[in-house]
Amino acid sequence: MLRRKELDMKTSKIIRPFHTVLVANRGEIALRIFRTVRRLGYASVAVYSEADRNSPHVQAADRAVCIGPAAPAQSYLSIKAILKAARQSGADAIHPGYGFLSENDAFADAVEADGLVFIGPSGENIRTMGHKAGAKRLMQSLGMPSIPGYEGEDQSDEVFLRESERIGFPIMCKAAAGGGGRGIRRVETPEALIAALDSARSEARTAFGSDELILERAVTKPRHIEIQLLADSHGHVVHLGERDCSVQRRHQKLIEEAPSPGVNAALRERMGQVAVHSARAMGYIGAGTMEFLLDTGGQFYFMEMNTRLQVEHAVTEAVTGLDLVEWQLRVATGQALPWLQSEIRLQGHAMEVRLTAEDVPAGFLPQAGPVLRWRPPVAHDVRIDSALREGDDVSPHYDSMMAKIVAHGSDREEALRKLHSAMRHCVLLGLPSNQGFLTDCLADSVFAHGLSVNTGFVAERMGLPPTAPVPTLRIVALAVLAAQAQTLPADAQGHLHASALAQGQATGLLKWAEQRWRYRISAVTLGTGRAWQVHCTALKASTGAESITVNLCDVKWLDAEHSELTLECEGLRERLCLARSDVAVHLFLNGQSWAFECPPTHSRPEQAMGSGAMLAPLTARVLQVLVTRGQKVQAGDRLVVLEAMKMEHTLTAPFPGVVSELLVQTGGQALKGTLLLKIEAL
């Protein structure tokens, strides 16, 4: 029988038992929820877009319903389609996961209006906390420390300019709706404010359907700390300690850990108390997270509340031993939380990284494309949450996160050591990722120490954008072997014999970034046996040639798929994972992946299509075309705005000129590497 629990702030919510859970999400979070749903004995329903028809989360559920085309607005963001799927499949409860509709109050209300259980807080709670300005005013009324700023209804540029002078620069310009680091700009001077407002409004409108903004004073070198909450329908609220999410790029988290190296027991108690008090006062039900900035003096400030499960919930599960999805489900049926706050204990330390498809040196630009090799570090003592499969494509329509890797240890040093080792053995080939960058972050001495990490860590320690590692000539020589290996026969034991090479040698070109190498690989006699000899010459028109010659012995495939090789290179035994595409060879060696293009041997170094050729840096939707053919532009003028994986990317003019060709239009699609427009210099 339905019953509604009336709470302090007059929120109401359907609380009752259910039998079938529909997960209104996709990918790794859908798989993760299904694991708990299945363990507790519930039936499961997946929803999927046409692009996800064969995805792992579809195969993991008892039933699955197609809800529309690949575009999220027509599928995963369609309330009507998801409710229809629930009726069609017989689901009587819906779990939103995170992202998509998870913090959409209209969705929560619509689920309950259909008589279904929404496994999350009430629509009223989501509405209150989903609007940053309103949430901040509410938290201030409850005694929560908050950052000085402006949350007014007047959204004119004139008011923002006036208020920013009152607040003091630098300031943070933030979208009032939504989260996930989108619609946020740091502004250093009054002169930069108007452009930042325009950019933040545009991104917020695309991501959240609202361009309302707030201003906040920028806190210098803060930590990003969040308190995990659980609240039942009987008015009982507990916190499960804190997570430190300070390692970020584009205001989005990359590495999370629990507990925080910068939070002691007394500070944890103070932050936990105010978070619990606020959640109880607003009649909150379910899992939620209070997010704070912690300054260098130990003062914390409320930022926002996430009314959903967090991406980083796994580190809290590791140190508490609790399954947060399980308690979301139990609370939704009306069960009471069984613990007092004093009974919550944190055991050891946990750390998580988010593996994403992005071009790090290009400014963490999201990428889409094929997954040629995916070998997660399953032999290591880590948790891996992922829906990635070798041979799949990473879609431009959805978030760029591909996997989460979580390590737990008796202390921070052990957790870090486990995670770093796992990342050095995590193989992802076929498209750019942040795997190598994450490995470098974990190896950084400041991160290892922990106490000095703040939200500026990436900029301070790694650079913005981080520089790409440059392949040594030895790596190039190994890439030469990788480029040839899959075309050569092997014996029954997997050995590649040099004598199998046609006419005893092969030549070709390899390209990485703007560098090119001409190579020759040949069969040679070495001691009592035959081996490979690779000679590489770097093509540098202005500085002459740099060359290397290496001998490769005992080359052997380690698997039937011919994806892993072992060999001896100049006395050192190496193990390579490799893959070939039509135009490139991909190589993983010692924790780092490399992609070398294989251009035709008769080609010359690019002169591109002229220095004014603007190519799409990623596969994306054309959000705006800001110029017309024949228009004059100045260096830095905005030309085209692309949108992919929930992020905007703006192309600007490299020099003064005239738009001589324009090949795209607003609303169209652009494939990575295609010509968008050309500028002729004046």
Q: What is d(CA 371, CA 620) in angstroms, rounded to the nearest whole number?
A: 18
Q: Which long-range contacts (CB under 8 A, 24 or more apart) does 41-45 make?
A: 42/18, 42/93, 42/329, 43/19, 44/20, 45/20, 45/21, 45/85, 45/86, 45/89, 45/90, 45/91
Of 112-121, 349-358, 505-514, 601-610, give the lowest mean pLDDT range.
601-610
Our CA dihedral for 338, 340, 342, 343, rounded to 10 degrees, sits at: -10
Q: What is the DSSP letter of 656?
A: S
Least confident of 168-182, 313-327, 575-589: 168-182
Helix or strand holding residue 140 (H, E): helix 132-141
Work out the percent of the chain whose per-residue pLDDT is above 70.
94
Could you give the CA distance from residue 98 to residue 353 in angstroms, rounded to a whole number? 17
* pLDDT, mean of residues 145-170: 91
What is the SS3 assignment for 658-678?
A: EEEEECCCCCCEECCCCEEEE
Would you state the pLDDT for residue 183? 83
Report whether pLDDT(653) > 80. yes
Q: Which burial class, exposed, middle or buried, applies to 647 when counting CB atoms under 10 A from its CB (0-12, 13-18, 19+)?
A: buried
pLDDT grade, residue 5 (50/70/90)?
very low
In this predicted structure, the answer to whether residue 226 has a pLDDT above a threshold of 70 is: yes
In the structure encoding, which two tokens stand for residue 508, read together? 């070709």
Between 617 and 180, the higher pLDDT residue: 617
pLDDT score recorded for residue 203: 83
The one-letter amino acid at 216: E
> Poorest-confidence range of 187-201, 317-331, 599-613?
599-613
409 pLDDT above the threshold of 60: yes
Grade residue 261 by pLDDT with cuts at 50, 70 and 90.
Answer: very high
How far apart, in whole angstroms, are the C-alpha atoms of residue 345 and residue 75? 41
What's the rounded Cα separation, in Å, for the pair 574 and 189?
52
Per the structure block, which two tokens stand in for 410?
């008796």
Element holding 489 (H helix, E strand): none
Q: So what's the pLDDT on residue 499? A: 60
Query: What pLDDT does 204 receive?
Result: 84
* Mean per-residue pLDDT, 604-616: 62
Mean pLDDT, residues 250-273 taken together = 96
Query: Which residues does 87 contact at the CB level (< 8 Å), separation at least 6?
Result: 114
Q: Is 667 left (phi over 0), alpha (psi -120 to 50) or beta?
A: left
Beta bridge partners of 659: 679
The tokens for 287 are 């899992």
Q: Which residues pair with 287 in a beta bridge?
A: 230
542 pLDDT more than 60: no
* Cα(408)–Cα(257) distance, integer angstroms: 10
pLDDT mean across residues, the chain: 90
Residue 180 confidence (pLDDT) above 90: no
Please give the pLDDT value at position 504.
Answer: 64
650 by Cβ neighbours in 10 Å (0-12 / 13-18 / 19+) ranks as middle
Per DSSP, the residues of 593-608 read: EEEEE---TT-----B
Q: What is the dihedral of CA 377, 388, 365, 625, to 10 degrees?
A: 180
At residue 608, the pLDDT reads 41
Q: Give the CA diameter of the chain.
A: 86
400 with 357: CB under 8 angstroms? yes
CA pair distance 47, 63, nearest whole angstrom:
9
Domains of the chain: 20-128 (3.40.50.20), 148-217 (3.30.1490.20), 224-462 (3.30.470.20), 473-597 (3.30.700), 613-681 (2.40.50.100)
pLDDT band of residue 461 (cuts 50, 70, 90) is: very high
Spatial distance between the Cα atoms of 105 and 124, rounded to a whole number of angstroms: 7
Q: Residue 442: its pLDDT value, please?
A: 97
Closest CA to 567 of 531, 540, 603, 537: 531
Confidence (pLDDT) at 2: 35
Rounded to 5°, the CA angle 28-32-36 comes to 165
Using alpha carbons, list the distances in angstroms from residue 220 to 135, 186, 199, 303, 500.
23, 12, 23, 15, 63
CA atoms in the 13 A half-sphere facing the CB of 311: 25
H helix runs in 431-573, sequence order = 435-443, 445-449, 457, 473-485
- For residues 239-260, average pLDDT: 96
pLDDT average, residue stretch 589-596: 93
Cα(408)–Cα(417) distance, rounded to whole angstroms? 10
The CA distance from 124 to 138, in Å, is 13
Q: Reply yes or no on whether the pLDDT at 541 is more than 70.
A: no
pLDDT reported for residue 39 = 98
Residue numbers annotated as active site = 308
Instruction: Tell me what the mean pLDDT of segment 105-125 comes to.
Output: 97
* HSE of 623, CA atoms in CB hemisphere, 13 A: 21
Both tokens of residue 15?
A: 């609380």
Give the pLDDT of residue 606.
41
ω into 605 cis (within 30 of 0): no
The pLDDT value recorded for residue 328 is 98
H or E stretch at 592? strand 592-597
- Compute the radius of gyration of the chain from its Cα atoms: 27
Sheet holding 184-187, edge to edge: 149-150, 213-217, 171-175, 184-187
Which span out of 286-290, 605-609, 675-679 was modeled with the highest average pLDDT? 286-290
Q: What is the pLDDT of residue 6?
A: 41
Count of other CB atoms within 10 angstroms of residue 291: 19
Q: Residue 525, Cα to own-chain centre: how many angstroms?
A: 49
What long-range pairs does 665-670 form, CB within 8 A, spacing at least 24? Answer: 665/622, 665/625, 666/622, 666/623, 666/624, 666/625, 667/621, 667/622, 668/621, 668/622, 669/619, 669/620, 669/621, 669/622, 670/616, 670/619, 670/620, 670/621, 670/622, 670/642
In this model, does residue 659 exceed pLDDT 90?
yes
Q: What is the rounded CA–CA span in Å between residue 235 and residue 601?
A: 72
* Mean pLDDT (whole number) for 621-642: 90
Question: What is the phi/psi pair of residue 489, to 5°?
Answer: -75, 155
Q: Is 518 helix (H, G, I), strand (E, B) or coil?
A: strand
Phi, psi angles (nearest 5°) of residue 135 = -65, -40
Residue 636 CB neighbours (<10 A)? 10
User: For the chain, how are helix, strand and coil distributed in percent, rounded to 5?
Assistant: 25, 35, 40
> Count of alpha carbons within 13 Å of 72, Cβ hemisphere only?
20
What is the separation, in whole angstroms, between the first and last Cα of the chain? 75
Determine which of 2-6, 394-398, 456-460 has the lowest per-residue pLDDT on average: 2-6
Kind and range of the H or E element at 639? strand 638-644
Q: Is the pLDDT reported for residue 239 higher than 70?
A: yes
17-69 pLDDT, tens digit each: 999 999 999 999 999 999 999 999 999 999 999 999 999 999 999 999 999 99
Q: How far is CA 390 from the centre of its chain?
A: 19
Q: How far apart are CA 5 and CA 283, in angstroms?
A: 10
Cα–Cα dist 193/159, whole Å: 12
Residue 77 is given by DSSP the state T
